[in-house]
């Protein structure tokens, strides 16, 4: 008699599927471990060597090997040899992306070790949407029953086909819509998932959620987008490159100069110093600034759909109030890897490049004294708990609300869906703009009134010391991004 077991876990990729389990307690390699043209495990040292993952519910420990892991599984799917679903113990960027590009339901974090509960040959139903895995043990006669069921369904299908052919061809006008298969896309960002909570200070993540919901709604299910937040599929650079390769379809965030030096042009100091000017110049789909920005994506097989306002970066530190530029001379300031950023900060303070995940501890231990950052993110990352001095130097525009789509994926859509995607991107960009400006003003008030942070609004004279310094290092920045591009962006920003 069959025994049914139900486990609970976390969704990695949504969907529902079922099939016969293929189980290993070992890790699985991508390139060198899986043959994409057959779906077979080709690592001769592996306990599943020679077995095919095709059509199976693959249960395993996790991924090992190079970052090409996802590429092997993507190729297996393209060739028709992907698993029906995947269940694994150890989450990683490699396996998260592999699950996405394989486009099958995937789960992790089960309440029991699936490699011990599930055995090869068990029948497993994976309901990733609801976080459930159902296992039928001792599945007697399962394969024979399945064969009979499939044969029965084939007979029914043939009968329906015959009836359809006999009824004539009076509905040709509906043929396009009935034959069209729903399109599924994946969208990625490093921003926080806003789902189910207050979106205050989360305008970037909330705008992505807004975009996804609008596309799903307006396309009436013809195009559905699944969003991955919080860098679960990798860093900003990782996810941008995934979009380039069409492993994912939409990148949302700030394209970094470490991908293309030209992307550093948006980081030019004092390109914009207030939100009103950004909205007027950078967020106009018909404006020259947006058109020039769009052209920078041509070498990356990508299209810039829309641009939100992003945010403006000030200066937070734990030592003293900062007014004129001389006030930062002896401070250790956390910066991020970018040639423009390095050119600006290296000569005026002890600039310390550092990953954002290390900043809170660095502030606690005085490894750094402060950082240049957006005011709303200071609250979400709780830096105000340690550092009590904020200055609105507004030195840089962070162009972090770019909706970028893979060109091939976009051009493969019917024209009406292309229009829906474009319209929804601008709707979401405007949503982000509205909430970002509101968050900025609200954050300044709360930092001072509730968290005891001293807010210093620079005088015109103090701000001019910063602008004069930026002008003095302009030649380095022109060289970093290209003189012609630099000059054109400055000209358009100052129109």
The catalytic residue positions are 66
**For residue 480, with 0-12 CB atoms within 10 Å meaning exposed, 13-18 middle and 19 or more buried, which class applies?**
buried
Contact of 317 with 331, CB cutoff 8 Å = yes
**For residue 367, with 0-12 CB atoms within 10 Å meaning exposed, 13-18 middle and 19 or more buried, which class applies?**
middle
- Alpha carbon 159 to its chain's center: 46
Give, rounded to a whole angstrom, the gap between the first and last alpha carbons of the chain: 78
Q: How far apart are CA 354 and CA 373, in angstroms?
A: 13
Element of type H or E holding 19: strand 16-23
Q: How far apart are CA 74 and CA 98, in angstroms?
A: 7
- Sequence-separated (6 or more) residues with CB below 8 Å from residue 221: 182
Nearest to 283 by CA among 133, 177, 431, 460: 431
- Sequence-separated (6 or more) residues with CB below 8 Å from residue 459: 323
Q: How far apart are CA 82 and CA 174, in angstroms?
A: 32
- Sequence-separated (6 or more) residues with CB below 8 Å from residue 248: 97, 100, 101, 185, 186, 187, 188, 228, 233, 239, 242, 406
C-beta atoms surrounding 203 within 10 Å: 28
**3-state SS string for 454-490:** EEECCCHHHHHHHHHHHHHCHHHHHHHHCHHHHHHHH
Q: How far apart are CA 102 and CA 114, in angstroms?
A: 20
Contact of 432 with 401, CB cutoff 8 Å = yes
Instruction: Report the side by side order of strands in the sheet with 16-23.
Output: 3-8, 132-137, 123-127, 16-23, 57-60, 85-88, 106-108, 10-13
Q: How far apart are CA 248 and CA 240, in angstroms?
A: 9
**Within 3-113, where are the H helices?**
69-78, 93-102
């Amino acid at each position: 008699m069959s025994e049914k077991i139900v486990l609970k876990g976390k969704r990695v990729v949504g969907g529902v599927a079922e099939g016969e389990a293929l189980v290993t307690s070992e890790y699985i390699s991508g390139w060198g471990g899986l043959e994409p043209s057959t779906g077979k495990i080709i690592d001769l040292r592996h306990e599943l060597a020679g077995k095919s993952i095709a059509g199976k519910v693959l249960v395993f420990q996790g991924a090992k090997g190079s970052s090409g892991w996802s590429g092997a599984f993507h190729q297996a799917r393209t060739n028709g040899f992907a698993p029906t679903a995947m269940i694994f113990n150890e989450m990683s960027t490699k396996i998260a992306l592999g699950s996405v590009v394989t486009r099958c339901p995937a789960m992790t974090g089960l309440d029991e070790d699936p490699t011990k509960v599930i055995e090869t040959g068990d029948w497993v139903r994976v309901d990733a949407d609801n976080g459930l895995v159902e296992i039928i043990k001792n599945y007697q006669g399962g394969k024979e029953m399945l064969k009979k069921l499939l044969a029965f369904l084939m007979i029914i299908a043939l009968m329906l086909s015959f009836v359809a052919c006999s009824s004539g061809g009076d509905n040709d006008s509906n043929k396009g819509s009935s034959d069209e298969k729903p399109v599924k896309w994946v969208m990625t960002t490093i921003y926080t998932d806003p789902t189910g909570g207050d979106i205050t200070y989360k305008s970037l993540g909330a705008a992505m959620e807004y975009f996804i919901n609008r596309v799903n709604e307006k396309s009436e299910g013809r195009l559905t987008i699944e969003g991955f937040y919080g860098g679960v599929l990798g860093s900003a650079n990782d996810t941008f490159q995934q979009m380039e390769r069409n492993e994912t379809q939409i990148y949302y965030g700030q394209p970094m100069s470490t991908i293309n030096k030209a992307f550093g042009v948006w980081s030019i100091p004092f390109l914009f110093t207030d939100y009103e000017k950004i909205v007027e110049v950078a967020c106009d789909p018909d404006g020259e600034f947006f058109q020039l920005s769009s052209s920078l994506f041509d070498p990356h097989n990508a299209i810039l759909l829309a641009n939100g306002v992003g945010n403006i970066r000030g200066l937070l530190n734990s030592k003293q109030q900062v007014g004129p530029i001389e006030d930062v001379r002896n401070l250790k300031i956390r910066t991020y890897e970018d040639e423009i950023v390095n050119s600006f900060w290296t000569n005026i303070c002890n600039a310390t490049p550092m990953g954002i995940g290390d900043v809170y501890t660095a502030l606690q231990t005085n490894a750094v004294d402060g950082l240049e950052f957006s005011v709303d993110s200071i609250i979400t990352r709780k830096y105000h708990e340690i550092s009590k001095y904020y200055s609105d130097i507004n030195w840089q525009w962070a162009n972090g609300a770019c909706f970028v789509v893979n060109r091939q994926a976009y051009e493969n859509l019917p024209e009406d869906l292309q229009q829906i995607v474009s319209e929804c991107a601008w709707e979401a960009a405007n949503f982000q703009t509205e909430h970002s400006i509101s968050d900025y003003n609200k954050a300044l008030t709360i930092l001072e009134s509730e968290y005891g942070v001293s807010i210093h609004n620079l005088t015109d004279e103090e701000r001019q010391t910063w602008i004069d310094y930026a002008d003095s290092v302009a030649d380095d920045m022109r060289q970093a991004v290209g003189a012609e591009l630099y000059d054109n962006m400055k000209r358009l920003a100052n129109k």
